[in-house]
Structure 1
Amino acid sequence: MKFVICLLAVLLSSCASAPKDAATFDMVDIPESGAGESVFVFYRTYTPPAAYDMRISINDKQITALPNNTFSYARLTPGKFKLKISWHPLSGMFSNEQELEIKAGETFFLQLSSSVWMPIGIQLGSDEHAAQNQKSAIEMLRKCCKYVASIEL
């Protein structure tokens, strides 16, 4: 029994993180948005559940999975799209969906977060996804995040 408890403690305390050799924000060439295309830059700082990647889907197609302190981007046709955050079933987390709109020629920055409720009723993290102005987002991305590739839509 002690072995099982120790094993669970180790597994639950581990952390999903970017590869050590992953590119930093300044090393990634994020494309410019244009009249017929927009760019959606999204990132995850350190948020619970720390042991699991945050799975990102756009219009029901999973494009990447973000460990803690990572970012990615997608080129999108301007208009409305459905953003879905989902987790591994063992995380105990539910999916979170949100409809967003991106304008033509816009580079849209979004900080992704999560919400975890502890048994004693304390909330860790947030279930709000916060749009960021470009300057603030770039400052945060330079401090925290490494690049994780996403598939093309």
Structure 2
Amino acid sequence: MKLLKTKLAVALLAAGLSFSATAADITVAYDSDPVTLDPHEQLSGGILQMSHMLFDPLVRLTQSLDFEPRISTEWKRVDDTTFEFTLRKGVKFHSGNMLTAKDVVWTFNRLQNSQDFKAIFSPYEKMEAVDDYTIQIKSFKPFPLVAANSDLYLPNGQRVLFR
């Protein structure tokens, strides 16, 4: 009986320690609270701050104003109105599904039709998936800010939402 009580006490102690080991406080500082967790819902300071902390763009400007690869590994101008991005392989949604060019096109189309974001995407005629890891974005006329405007904020690793 004493052995059973000892085993029970050790099991309860171990369970208690494991619960406390998984519990943690996370403090996140924002200038203002995001009004939604859907980054396509509203263009606001809180949403933009949340997007920058949680999601990755195709490319990103560094502090020295150079472009660095994020979800895309390469980008090039195909002609005066077409820009091409090669996506990083191995990027997954939280569900385990692989990110493909179709997901990027879906995000682009959603943003292009969003009330708050459609003006940002108005220079673009369309985006197409060339293959599973290549997209092309076409503007109505020559547009020099395609790479700087390519921060669509796509999922990186286990992140699932888009900006």
Q: Which category describes the TM-score, using the shorter chain as reference length?
A: under 0.3
**Structure with more relative contact order (C-alpha pairs < 8 Å, separation 6 or more):** 1
Q: Which has the higher strand share?
A: 1
Q: Which has the higher helix share?
A: 2
Return the index of the structure with the highest Cα Rg: 2
Q: TM-score, normalised by structure 1?
A: 0.25
Q: TM-score, normalised by structure 2?
A: 0.24
